């Protein structure tokens, strides 16, 4: 493997790592939004 390939692999590792972390945050945010909507619906029904 030549040196440029190693630089490329390091870049891929860093960017995909950051991307995965952002995807995890987005997934958590989506779950939270779903729960907030459910709670709002329940509270509206109770009124």
Partner 1 sequence: MAGLYPLAPFLALAGGFLLAACQWLILVYAPTEATLGLPQKIFYLHLPLAWWGLFSFFLVFIASGAYLASRKRFWDVLAGAAAEIGLALAALALISGAIWAKTSWGLWWTWDARLTTTLVMCFIYAGYLVVRGMDMQPDRRARIAAVLGIVAFLDVPLVFFSARLWSYIHPPSISLEPEMKHTLVACIASFALLWLGLLLFRWRLAQDAINLEETTKERLMRRE
Judged by the rule CB under 8 A, the positions of this chain that interact with partner 1 are 3-4, 6-7, 9-11, 13-14, 17-18, 21-22, 25, 28-29, 32, 35-36, 39, 42-43, 46
Supply the minimum distance, in Å, between the C-beta of residue 21 and partner 1. 5
* Alpha helix positions (H), the chain: 3-46
Give the Cα separation of 8 and 1 in Å (integer): 11
- 47 three-class SS: coil
Supply the minimum distance, in Å, between the C-beta of residue 17 and partner 1. 4
Apex 28 CA angle, 42 and 32, nearest 5: 15
Supply the minimum distance, in Å, between the C-beta of residue 33 and partner 1. 9
């Amino acid at each position: 493997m030549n040196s440029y390939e190693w630089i490329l692999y390091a870049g891929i590792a860093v960017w995909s790592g950051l991307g995965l972390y952002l995807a995890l945050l987005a997934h958590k945010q989506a779950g939270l939004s779903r729960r907030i909507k459910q709670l709002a619906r329940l509270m509206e029904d109770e009124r």
